[in-house]
Amino acid sequence: GSVDPSNIEDCQGHGTHCAGLLGGQSVGVAPGVHLHAVKVLGDDGSGSNEDVIAGMDWVAAYVQAETQRTGRRLPAVASMSLGGSFSHMINDAVADLVAHGVVVVVAAGNDADDACNYSPASAAAAISVGSPTGPGEPA
């Protein structure tokens, strides 16, 4: 897989929406945060495990380079609102990213299905996030 850093347009809008919730210019969970777009899915919203892994590898390399450049480890979070069938390769890449000091937050998935059947939601090193509609009720 390969990541084209020049093509970050979000044709689906989902990644941009999630990034805005996290670090919008004046509001969000962490206003003022430095965001980096890493596009790993095609314009139609689909992609390959190889491209998702290449994106995680890019983040790990970036964090490593910034740590060397600044002489200190900067806080880093990778937020991935994506998923596919269970994959040891994806889950191993998540573990590698965490080993590089990156907190990895992933979507648990949709349709009230068991997140253990999907990746990266099933990765032990990831923080998997879901959204219930009420006590004990799936979204």
User: Could you tell me the domains of the chain?
Assistant: 14-138 (3.40.50.200)
pLDDT in tens, 16-64: 888 888 887 777 888 888 888 899 998 888 899 999 999 999 999 999 9
Q: Has residue 69 got a pLDDT over 80?
A: yes
Q: How far apart are CA 7 and CA 42, in angstroms?
A: 10
At residue 56, the pLDDT reads 96
Please give the model's pTM, rounded to 2 decimal places. Answer: 0.87
pLDDT band for position 80 (cuts 50, 70, 90) = very high
Q: How far apart are CA 20 and CA 3, in angstroms?
A: 22
pLDDT band for position 127 (cuts 50, 70, 90) = very high
For the chain, percent of residues with pLDDT exceeding 70: 95
